[in-house]
């Protein structure tokens, strides 16, 4: 079985329950509902869904030497990860996000980067893994130093070991330090070492400073650019517009590490769009994109074809939106066609 390392951004999500009438104004006492605390960030969201699906996952991240860090480690261990590889910062506090999500309105994050600032990939052990998934470099200043050299080096180090590399992004805040990065140049360098990339449209247009509304043409232009930069499998999510999957040549896929190389003939030169599954009673969109990525990666690790992989990605996302975990049972209830991916 393929083993997967998930590295990069991790935090605790702190989510007060809000009603449609909740408003906040200076000086007011605002009544809210119970508080939920959960693992957040790419390492947790993608890693937990991969583990729920049945993958063997090792998380790599950085936390602070504080109570939140202890809580985060305990929660990761409780999720069944045999040996979370967390570096402890002596000077930075553990990262957290306040997730403000009112019914019917997309979520807003108040985020503290914290110890994620020190994550530079140096402690990520790529040997022994079939796939490395790296998440949210836009929120990891340590990867962006020296024009992004640590980010590119980590991906290159993994590829040199025959590991299939995967990269996901987060929205680049133009008011933050990462917003000042030359993302055009940095993404070109990173994508050259990237076998799979699964950003959202919002991630890409914020990083590349594109002021253009969603359209299928925009998505395909972004995919064209990523394929030209060297990505083998491009999966761009666009919320209610679905997931656009594009792939490179058979020669590029044959050079895409232990997970993708055996699938090169089946996956080469593909272009398809999968629409989101209908969720009658949406609960949250938090983590839905990461779950989609996890579905794609798990499907690839099981030798799926592009249609199966896209279907599993959509089903994992729908499971999270419905308030469930993306377990095989939950996924099969939503998308029975993925049954073959869970057979030994």
For 161-179, the pLDDT digits (tens) are 999 999 999 998 888 777 7
> What average pLDDT does the segment 31-36 reach?
79
State the architecture of 3-19+34-332 in CATH terms: 3-Layer(aba) Sandwich (3.40)
Domain ranges of the chain: 3-19+34-332
The pTM of the full predicted model, rounded to 2 decimals, is 0.92
CA neighbor of 61 nearest in space, from 300, 48, 204, 147 = 48
Percent of the chain's residues with pLDDT above 70: 95
CB burial class (10 A; 0-12, 13-18, 19+) of residue 105?
exposed
pLDDT surpassing 90 at residue 229: yes
Query: Which of the 8 DSSP states describes residue 33?
Result: -
Alpha-helical (H) ranges within 54-208 are 67-78, 141-160, 183-191, 201-208
178-208 pLDDT, tens digit per residue, is: 778 899 999 999 999 999 999 999 999 999 9
């Amino acid at each position: 079985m393929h083993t997967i390392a998930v590295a990069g951004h991790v935090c605790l999500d702190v989510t007060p329950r809000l009603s449609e009438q909740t408003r906040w104004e200076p000086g007011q006492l605002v009544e809210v509902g119970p508080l939920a605390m959960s693992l957040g960030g790419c390492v947790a969201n993608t890693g937990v869904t991969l583990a729920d699906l049945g993958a063997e996952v090792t998380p790599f991240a950085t936390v602070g030497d504080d109570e939140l860090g202890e809580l985060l480690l305990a929660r990761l261990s409780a999720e069944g990860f045999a040996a979370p590889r967390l570096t402890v910062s002596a000077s930075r506090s553990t990262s957290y996000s306040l997730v403000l999500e009112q019914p019917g309105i997309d979520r807003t994050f108040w985020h503290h980067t914290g110890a994620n600032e020190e994550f530079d990939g140096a402690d990520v052990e790529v040997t022994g893994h079939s796939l490395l998934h790296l998440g949210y470099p836009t929120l990891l200043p340590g990867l962006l130093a020296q024009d992004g050299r640590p980010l590119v080096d980590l991906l290159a180090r993994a590829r040199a070991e025959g590991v299939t590399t995967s990269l996901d992004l987060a929205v680049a805040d133009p008011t933050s330090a990462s917003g000042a990065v030359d993302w055009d140049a940095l993404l070109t360098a990173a994508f050259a070492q990237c076998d799979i990339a699964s950003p959202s449209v919002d991630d890409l247009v914020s990083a590349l400073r594109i002021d253009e509304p969603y359209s299928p043409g925009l998505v395909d232009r972004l995919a064209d650019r990523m394929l030209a930069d060297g990505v083998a499998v491009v999966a761009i999510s666009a919320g209610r517009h679905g997931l656009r999957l594009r792939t490179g040549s058979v020669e590029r896929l044959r050079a895409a590490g232990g997970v993708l190389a055996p699938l090169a003939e089946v996956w080469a030169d593909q272009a398809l769009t999968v629409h989101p599954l209908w969720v009658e009673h949406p609960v949250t969109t938090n983590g839905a994109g990461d779950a989609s990525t996890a579905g794609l990666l798990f499907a690839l690790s099981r030798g799926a074809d592009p249609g199966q992989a896209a279907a599993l990605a959509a089903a994992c996302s729908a499971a999270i939106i419905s308030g469930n975990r993306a377990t095989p049972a939950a996924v099969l209830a939503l998308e029975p066609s993925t049954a073959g991916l869970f057979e030994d």
